Amino acid sequence: MRLLLRVLAPLLGLLLAVVGLAVVVETVTAWVAPTSSPLVVPWTSWRTTIEGLTWQSGAVRTVAIVVGVVALFVLLLGLTARRHDVFLADPVPEVTVTTSPRSLARAVGHEVRSHDEVVSASVVASAKRVTVKAATLDPAGEVRTAVKDRVEEMLVRLPLARRPRVAVSVTTTKGVK
What are the sequence ranges of the domains in the chain? Answer: 2-80, 98-172
Which helix (H) or strand (E) is 38 found in, with range?
none
| Mean pLDDT value of segment 36-61 | 87
Q: Give the separation between CA 169 and CA 38, rounded to whole angstroms.
A: 68
CATH of 98-172 among 3.30.565.10, 1.20.1250.20, 1.10.10.10, 3.30.300.30 = 3.30.300.30
Calculate mean pLDDT across residues 43-58.
Answer: 88
Rounded Cα distance between 90 and 160, Å, is: 9
DSSP-derived secondary structure letter, 137: S
Helix (H, G, I), strand (E, B) or coil at 153: helix
Whether the pLDDT of residue 82 is over 80: the answer is no
Query: Region 140-165: what's the mean pLDDT?
Result: 91
Taking the complete model, does pTM exceed 0.75, yes or no?
no
Confidence of residue 18 (pLDDT cuts 50, 70, 90): very high
Amino acid 167: pLDDT: 95
Q: Does the CA dihedral 99-105-106-111 come out positive or negative?
A: positive
The reported pLDDT for the residue numbered 150 is 93
Return the percentage of the chain with pLDDT > 90, whole number. Answer: 50
Mean pLDDT, range 94-110, rounded to an integer? 92
Instruction: Name the band, by pLDDT with cuts 50, 70 and 90, for residue 176.
Output: low
